Amino acid sequence: VAPFANLPSMNNLFFQAKARKGLSFEAIAKHLGKDEVWVAAAFYGQAKFTEEELKKLSDLLGVSSSSAVAQIGDNWFPYRGTLVEFPPRDPVIYRLFEGISVYGTAIKAIINEKFGDGIMSLIDCKVTIDKKENPKGDRVILTFDGKFLPYAKW
């Protein structure tokens, strides 16, 4: 579909094979020994598989591992950040945006008060999603676990 038209063709093969095999990201992630959010990110070209991971994945999905390595192996680096338009309009992604729009300055204030002048890294950062069951409606627990980086002075 449209927002994903810019992915390397290998990634589209991965998506089709995943659908054909009826595999969830959770199942694939378990097979690779990785987290499902990270694996989904890599499917969308936002993270980089090692050669070994590419092979394991290709075997699982039944696609050519040599093509995978040739196209998105060592030689390739993710060109991140181009999938989501801003403001995003898909309601699922928009809500994340709304989270920053409404709570972003509060988050900055608390990070600065708790840690000093610096940022939460999104490079050394892990993103996870958990499902907390709740009779009034299940809850999505979305967590960013990122290293604090203090500003250099010179």
- For a second copy, the closer of residues 59 and 109 by Cβ is 109
CB closer to a second copy, 26 vs 59: 26
Nearer to a second copy, 31 or 34 (CB): 34
Catalytic residue of the set 20, 80, 89, 95: 95
Helix (H/G/I), strand (E/B), else coil: 98: helix
Cα 98 to Cα 48, 51, 102, distances in angstroms: 28, 37, 6
**Residues 68 and 53: beta-carbon distance below 8 Å:** no
Q: Which 100-139 positions form the footprint of a second copy (CB under 8 A)? A: 100-115, 117-129, 131-132, 134, 136-139
Shortest distance (Å) from residue 62 CB to a second copy: 16
Give residues with Cβ within 8 angstroms of 61, minimum separation 6. 14, 17, 18, 21, 23
Q: Is 83 exposed, middle or buried (0-12, 13-18, 19+ CB in 10 A)?
A: middle
**Quick check: is 65 catalytic?**
no
Residue 39 CB, shortest distance to a second copy, in Å, is: 8
Min. distance of Cβ 30 from a second copy in angstroms?
13
Helical pair 51-61 and 25-32, crossing angle rounded to 10 deg: 130
Hey, which residues between 21 and 40 contact a second copy (CB under 8 A)? 22, 24-26, 34-38, 40
Structure tokens at 150: 């203090």
Ranges within 62-81 binding a second copy (CB under 8 A): 70, 75-81
CB of 98 to a second copy, least distance (A): 5
The single residue listed with the structure tokens 């378990």 is 30
Q: Which residues are known catalytic residues?
A: 95, 98, 121
